[in-house]
Amino acid sequence: MQHPGEQHPVPPLDRQPEIPYPGATDALLSAPDHGEDSYRGSGRLEGRRALITGGDSGIGRAVAVAFAREGADVVLTYLDAEDEDARRTATLVEAAGSRVVLVPGDIREEEFCRHLVATTVSEFGGIDILVNNAAYQHLEPGGIADITTEQFDRVMKTNLYALFWLSKFAVAEMRPGSTIVNTTSIQAVSPSPGLLDYATTKAGIVDFTKGLAADVASKGIRVNAVAPGPIWTPLIPATMPKDAYAQFGRDTPLGRPGQPSELAPAYVFLASQESSYITGETIAVTGGVPFT
């Protein structure tokens, strides 16, 4: 038994310097917990074949570790600049006894998304789980006045276009019982003006999840989402100025930011047969902030 507000320490956010995008785990003064020493699998995803975007670090790494320890093989995709983090994730997956395939590239390109699904099928013989996790954000304190068309396009392409392409290509290959798990955000229902473009995409993901779930239910494919609150990952100091994240997560009811390891069980649940009567839903992991 443990007080949830005291389960993880508040990182030294006020001392964490900004880091270059896309961010590296080693650059964080307080290393995120990805479940390396805590997650214990029980075979809930035995024999499953998963594709995880943004699988190099943060939430993606935690999901990859949990999936591997539950018995799944995984394909991980990430940006070229994140190769060192991705290789560390691959080491953790292999240590769990699962296969891993690393495919660096840019999911803003439709053909690369097609290639990702095709690679998963060719390497593993099929695809059973798609985790649409990769995302781009950049805080603009001046709100809409500071959001350029170039940035807006990048956010849309990364967060929504790729989601559409990957889901479309994956559904064409999936068997009944397969699952898609999308990553939305508390920003979907409580948008920050400085993250207007990002929040718009995260709200879109909630509706996309509901609509796609209804579309593919007859095929026996379930589609759900996880909505993180403030989670401590390299993305935070890589996309926010220091004065914006110095108090990151402290205004939640639990009084701290979440750790990637605290999200992974939600992804495992939605990917497994344990959630067989759940589709079109969003599980909020927000430290007590209402997802309404």
Query: What CATH number corresponds to the domain at position 246?
Result: 3.40.50.720
Mean pLDDT score of the chain: 97
In a domain, 246, yes or no: yes
Task: State the average pLDDT over residues 22-38.
Answer: 95
Q: Give the tokens for residue 260.
A: 């990637």
In this structure, the number of other CB atoms found within 10 A of the CB of residue 19 comes to: 17
In a domain, 290, yes or no: no
In a domain, 14, yes or no: no
In a domain, 196, yes or no: yes
Can you say whether residue 239 is alpha, beta or left, with left for phi > 0 and alpha for psi between -120 and 50 degrees?
alpha
In a domain, 192, yes or no: yes
pLDDT of residue 260: 98
CB neighbour class for 197 (10 Å; exposed up to 12, middle 13-18, buried from 19): buried
Task: State the average pLDDT over residues 21-35.
Answer: 94
Q: How many domains does the chain have?
A: 1
Q: Which residues are catalytic?
A: 198
pLDDT of residue 14: 84
Task: State the average pLDDT over residues 166-185.
Answer: 98
In a domain, 141, yes or no: yes
- Using pLDDT thresholds of 50, 70 and 90, give the confidence band for residue 40: very high
In a domain, 28, yes or no: no
Model confidence pLDDT, tens digit, residues 114-165: 999 999 999 999 999 999 999 999 999 999 999 999 999 999 999 999 999 9
- Using pLDDT thresholds of 50, 70 and 90, give the confidence band for residue 246: confident
Q: Give the tokens for residue 72.
A: 């799944």
Polymer length of the chain: 292
Percent of the chain predicted with pLDDT > 70: 100
Structural contact between residues 169 and 216, judged by C-beta atoms closer than 8 angstroms: no
pLDDT of residue 137: 96
More confident residue, 87 or 241: 87
In a domain, 227, yes or no: yes
CB neighbour class for 117 (10 Å; exposed up to 12, middle 13-18, buried from 19): buried
pLDDT of residue 169: 99
Task: State the average pLDDT over residues 242-246.
Answer: 86
pLDDT at 10 over 90: no
pLDDT of residue 105: 98
- End-to-end CA distance of the chain: give it in Å, rounded: 29
- Residue 78 domain boundaries: 46-285
CA 234 to the chain's CA centroid: 13
